[in-house]
Amino acid sequence: MKLYEKTLETKSVFEGKVIHVKHDTVELENGEKAKREIVEHPGGVCIAALDEEQKLLFVRQFRYPYREIVLELPAGKLEKGQTPLENGKRELLEETGAVGREYITLGKLYPSPGYCGEIIHLYFCKTDHYEKQRLDEDEFVSVEKIPLNKAVEMVLNNEIPDAKTQVAVLKTAALVRKMNGQ
């Protein structure tokens, strides 16, 4: 098995501010043709910031596609000209006012590889100090701190439906256990 698809044709369907949609025709490894619908996204970053009391910084914000308030770790879309880590530091400060230290990568996440090319970079840090939030003018969030153990329980009890937050919380808990020699 080659496990590869060759792109034969690409048609742009939609060019938006954040996403682009295209229809591709591909050749499968058996020589047959198939159609693929692709959402191109610049990628994102998510930060699990832990304070000295072992609490994670979260934000609650209204997420229009779901028509509900969602509890998430600070996150945002990647901006050109900055590394994922630089983007993460910016998002943490913008959304929570926190400045982190000792950043550690938690890897990357493919949120929906069947149709979307987005890659979300996950990081852990410890909070260093706080400054003023720097929210975008169309961004409204409330910040809250949740003990790491409680956040893990919330993930396991399906109280946090956001995928990037689930993964980052669980990886952070595993990392903290490892750092503490457990």
List active site positions: 137
Report the alpha-carbon angle 132-133-134, nearest 5: 115
Per-position DSSP letters for 60-80, written without gaps between them: EEEETTTTEEEEE-SEEE--T
3-state secondary structure of 86: helix
> How far is residue 25's CA from residue 52's CA, in Å, rounded to a whole number?
52
Token pair in block for residue 164: 């990037």
The DSSP symbol for 17 reads S
Radius of gyration of the chain (CA): 19
C-alpha closest to that of 140 among 85, 64, 51: 64
C-alpha closest to that of 108 among 150, 155, 171, 49: 171
The DSSP symbol for 116 reads B
